[in-house]
Structure formats: C-alpha cells, structure tokens
Amino acid sequence: MKSQRHGKNISDVEVQNISNNGIWLYVNGKEYFLSYKEYPWFKDAKVSDICNLELLRDNHLYWPDLDVDLEIDSLENPEKFPLIYKDNYRG
C-alpha cells in the first residue's frame, strides 16, 4: 500500500503562537517573532483579530480587523525601518 501524495500547501502565512510577550508567525517557510514592545498593536487585540491575517504579494502582511500592515522586509531587516511607534493617546 502506498501513501497518497500530500496536496499543495496553500497556507503561506499562519499565526503559530500568541504569548504574553508577542506573537509568532510562520510566513513562506520562515518564522518571525513580533514582540508587543515593538509591535504594540497586537497586545490588546482579540485572538480572532490577530489570526485574521493575509499575505499580499508574498511580502506584505495585512491584518484587516486591526488595520495593520507590515512588510516582510521590516521583520527581516528592522535596521532599515528606524521609525518607532508612539502612542499619542497615552502621552
């Protein structure tokens, strides 16, 4: 008896874990950690909003429920993206 061949993997992006410190993503065969310190938009978000994640053009992450956009390059090369989030509502 032969095993059937697996189908094509259509999941190019996946939230693998949500912890007290941040979220783990799996994108195109690579793992990324987004700490809440560096990506505060996710800290108080609902799990369902974090898991509703889209990969656009193989290099652009988009969370429609949170209106958050991130380029994969900003995760791989953060030194190229020196802007730091400031919460104007908290002072």
CATH number for 65: 3.30.2020
In a domain, 30, yes or no: yes
In a domain, 35, yes or no: yes
In a domain, 6, yes or no: no
pTM of the model: 0.75
Amino acid making up residue 39: Y
Q: Are 53 and 63 in contact, with CB atoms under 8 Å apart?
A: yes
Q: Are 27 and 72 in contact, with CB atoms under 8 Å apart?
A: yes
Distance of alpha carbon 27 from alpha carbon 37, whole angstroms:
21
- Residue 27 structural domain: 13-80
In a domain, 86, yes or no: no
User: Count of domains in the chain?
Assistant: 1
In a domain, 63, yes or no: yes
* pLDDT at 72 (0 to 100): 93
Reduced to 3 states, what is the DSSP secondary structure of residue 45? coil
In a domain, 19, yes or no: yes
In a domain, 61, yes or no: yes
- In order along its 91 residues, the chain shows pLDDT tens digits of 555 554 444 558 999 999 999 999 999 999 999 999 999 999 999 999 999 999 998 899 999 999 999 999 999 988 887 765 556 545 4
